[in-house]
A and B are shown apart, each in its own frame.
Chain A
Amino acid sequence: MNDKLQLPNLDYAALSPMLILFGVACIGVLVEGFVPRRIRHGVQLSLSLLGLVAALVMVIRQGSKDDVVTAQTAVAIDGPGLFLSAAIIVLGIVSLLLIGERSLETGGAFVAQAAVTANTDADRDQAARTTGATEVFPLTMFALAGMLLFCTANDLLVMFVALEVFSLPLYLLCALARRRRLLSQEAALKYFLLGSFASAFFLFGIALIYGYAGQVDFKAIDTAIQNSANDDILLYVGLAMLAIGLLFKAAAVPFHVWTPDVYQGAPTPVTALMAACTKVAAFGGLLRLVYVGFHRTEWELQQVLGTVAVITMLVGAILAVTQTDIKRLLAYSSIANAGYLLLGVLSVSERGLSSSMFYLVAYGFTVLAAFAVVTLVRDADGEATHLSRWAGLGRRSPLYASLFTFILLAFAGLPLTSGFTAKFGIFAAAIDAGQTWLVIAGVVSSAILAFPYLRVVVMMWLSEPGETTPAVSIPGAMTAAALVIGTVATLVLGVAPSVLIEATEHAGIFVSK
């Protein structure tokens, strides 16, 4: 009874990026309580950016060290884990620039007091005059820290806690739009209900896998798959449940139905955060789960996930054609991209891993730039997201129309953009792994998906500007920076991708301890 505890060894240096982010988030919550409202925004913004940069430095410093599995077997800080952490932090910095922007609209993109009933006089008054809630900064930091943990979790239970830590702030952030608040609240409610449902599936899956393997860490599961006497049905049902939870976050068909509504309803900077960072986290978790824990079920996985990937690519592409709202269009495009990423997951090879990580980063930068432009095209009622409003934008403001055209071409996967290199890498990895039928589906869906992108391009350049075509606002410094970073990264990763490709290959493989 009174025997002493074997103390866990915690490698604080390896955990420091997460610890910094959690710490900054806690300080941010205290700032909300104790710092006067006037200077809160500045304090929060600089605090969050500093925290992210410090976390990035710690990730890079850890990069030169050996792989670490710390807190017994709970957290694995390995090459891919560090790469994904760095990707989430960098994309997080860019999203934070969008979140912190206040010059486009009085008080920023967020509502001041979300508890005020929407569409009342008090609400109209606060929309016109008061500055937005600054709780968004600590919430974003909590979400990013949770994402880091999700990518480095070496244990299903840790993964579940991380899933909740990064989901809960995102549900909240979705509800905080300054304009069209009912839409935003509806989006948050949908995301929350479906998200908790997916979490429940994930948890059920953990229980079944525990029943099968008797353990919940990936290494033990892998060992159990090799020599467990238990019935394999338990394993497959459990794995299916886990996959439902993860594919929900990754927005793969048929678990995608929340995506368009949430992307449309959420404040655009939050949509950008979800499209870039959540995608990295969800696929980071999925990659580790498949590569470390379940790679011995590769054959069965490829049948099921392959089908999901094909449906995801095709449904995303076909439904994107019918969209009339730019945010919904980008949402369906994000669904189709989840399908391409699944190809990388399914390859279950070193090449599949490195090409998936490249794709995540490339797509993240492009989608951030795309949503940065969406925040700029606005009129007196806020963002003009209906596609008909974008007609003739090329005449009104050629610079931003050109930038957006370039971004759309990158989405379509034209050469000299990051979209091409990324897709090429992932398709090549899939062919290596003998998944030719998936690649064929991928190419077909890319061809379909090019149509809606080109339709927007044609609309911007070849239509006459109508009376309702809004002007493009002059971006504030932060949106401009986000836009430039996103676009330049898209270009550089298309023209000279070798630096990042080397980094992804240098990251090596997931540690299995």
Chain B
Amino acid sequence: MSLAPYVPILGLFALAAGFALFSVAAAPFVGPRRFNKAKLDAYECGIEPTPQPVGGGRFPVKFYLTAMLFIVFDIEIIFLYPWAVNFGMLGVFGFVEMVLFIVTVFVAFAYVWRRGGLDWD
């Protein structure tokens, strides 16, 4: 297939990469170089570096629930995309089918909401 439409994206990538490389490479030449021990430490808002939490800092399981719900609705949106682009062609039939789909997925949303899955605490 023709890759012509993607050339601007490639150009943008090249520009972004070039800028990043340029910034890193140019910094030592143009900036002042006055190192001390504090500057070489890991940066933690100016306080003494803190040891790693025990067990690597585990997240509560709530995050999993949120992520899973996000994926469910993310996938719903993926289906919306081809429908929205071809709204004219799909007409009333497509609209009805899409509403049916959204309503069905909304059943899951209602369940999660009523059961307190959206409450953080």
Do A and B come into direct contact in the complex, CB within 8 Å? yes
A residues neighboring B (CB under 8 Å): 1-5, 7, 26, 29-30, 32-34, 115
> Nearest Cβ distance between residue A135 and chain B, in whole angstroms?
9
Q: Report A-chain residues with C-beta under 8 Å of the C-beta of B91.
A: 4-5
- Is B110 part of the contact surface with A, judged by Cβ < 8 Å? yes
| Interface positions of B from 69 to 121, Cβ below 8 Å from A | 88-91, 93-94, 104, 107-108, 110-111, 113-115
> Nearest Cβ distance between residue B73 and chain A, in whole angstroms?
16
Extra contacts, 20 of them, besides A29-B107, A30-B110, A33-B114 (Cβ < 8 A), are A1-B89, A4-B89, A4-B91, A5-B89, A5-B90, A5-B93, A26-B107, A29-B108, A29-B111, A30-B107, A30-B111, A32-B111, A32-B114, A32-B115, A33-B110, A33-B111, A33-B113, A34-B110, A34-B114, A115-B61
Given the interface pairs A26-B104, A26-B107, A115-B61, the reply to whether A33 lies near B90 with Cβ below 8 Å is no
> CB within 8 A of B88: which of A2, A26, A34?
A2
User: A4 CA to B91 CA in the complex, in Å?
Assistant: 8
Given the interface pairs A26-B107, A29-B108, A34-B114, the reply to whether A3 lies near B93 with Cβ below 8 Å is no
User: A115 CA to B116 CA in the complex, in Å?
Assistant: 14
User: A32 CA to B114 CA in the complex, in Å?
Assistant: 9
Q: Report B-chain residues with C-beta under 8 Å of the C-beta of A7.
A: 93
Query: Are B111 and A2 interface neighbours, CB within 8 A?
Result: no
Q: Report B-chain residues with C-beta under 8 Å of the C-beta of A2.
A: 88-89
> Nearest Cβ distance between residue A72 and chain B, in whole angstroms?
14
Q: Report A-chain residues with C-beta under 8 Å of the C-beta of B93.
A: 5, 7
* Interface pairs (6), CB distance under 8 Å: A2-B89, A4-B89, A4-B91, A29-B107, A29-B111, A32-B114
Minimal Cβ-Cβ distance residue in B for A31:
B111
Q: Report A-chain residues with C-beta under 8 Å of the C-beta of B107.
A: 26, 29-30
**Top 5 A-B residue pairs of the complex, sorted by shortest distance between their CB atoms:** A33-B114, A33-B111, A26-B107, A29-B111, A29-B107
Minimal Cβ-Cβ distance residue in A for B115:
A33
Minimal Cβ-Cβ distance residue in B for A32:
B111
User: A103 CA to B115 CA in the complex, in Å?
Assistant: 26
Q: Report A-chain residues with C-beta under 8 Å of the C-beta of B94.
A: 5
User: A30 CA to B115 CA in the complex, in Å?
Assistant: 11
Q: Report A-chain residues with C-beta under 8 Å of the C-beta of B115.
A: 32-33
Q: Report B-chain residues with C-beta under 8 Å of the C-beta of A3.
A: 89
Q: Report A-chain residues with C-beta under 8 Å of the C-beta of B61.
A: 115
Q: Report B-chain residues with C-beta under 8 Å of the C-beta of A30.
A: 107, 110-111
Minimal Cβ-Cβ distance residue in B for A1:
B89
User: A32 CA to B94 CA in the complex, in Å?
Assistant: 30
User: A143 CA to B104 CA in the complex, in Å?
Assistant: 16
Q: Report B-chain residues with C-beta under 8 Å of the C-beta of A1.
A: 89
User: A368 CA to B4 CA in the complex, in Å?
Assistant: 62
Q: Report A-chain residues with C-beta under 8 Å of the C-beta of B111.
A: 29-30, 32-33
> Nearest Cβ distance between residue B54 and chain A, in whole angstroms?
19
Q: Report B-chain residues with C-beta under 8 Å of the C-beta of A32.
A: 111, 114-115
Which of A1, A26, A32, A33 has the most chain B CB atoms inside 10 A of its CB?
A: A33
> Nearest Cβ distance between residue B69 and chain A, in whole angstroms?
14
Q: Report B-chain residues with C-beta under 8 Å of the C-beta of A4.
A: 89, 91
Q: Report B-chain residues with C-beta under 8 Å of the C-beta of A5.
A: 89-91, 93-94
> Nearest Cβ distance between residue A339 and chain B, in whole angstroms?
38
User: A244 CA to B113 CA in the complex, in Å?
Assistant: 39
Q: Report A-chain residues with C-beta under 8 Å of the C-beta of B114.
A: 32-34
User: A34 CA to B61 CA in the complex, in Å?
Assistant: 25
Q: Report A-chain residues with C-beta under 8 Å of the C-beta of B110.
A: 29-30, 33-34
User: A33 CA to B110 CA in the complex, in Å?
Assistant: 7
User: A489 CA to B72 CA in the complex, in Å?
Assistant: 42
Q: Report A-chain residues with C-beta under 8 Å of the C-beta of B90.
A: 5
> Nearest Cβ distance between residue B32 and chain A, in whole angstroms?
56
Q: Report B-chain residues with C-beta under 8 Å of the C-beta of A34.
A: 110, 114
Minimal Cβ-Cβ distance residue in B for A7:
B93
User: A29 CA to B72 CA in the complex, in Å?
Assistant: 16
User: A2 CA to B110 CA in the complex, in Å?
Assistant: 37
Q: Report B-chain residues with C-beta under 8 Å of the C-beta of A26.
A: 104, 107
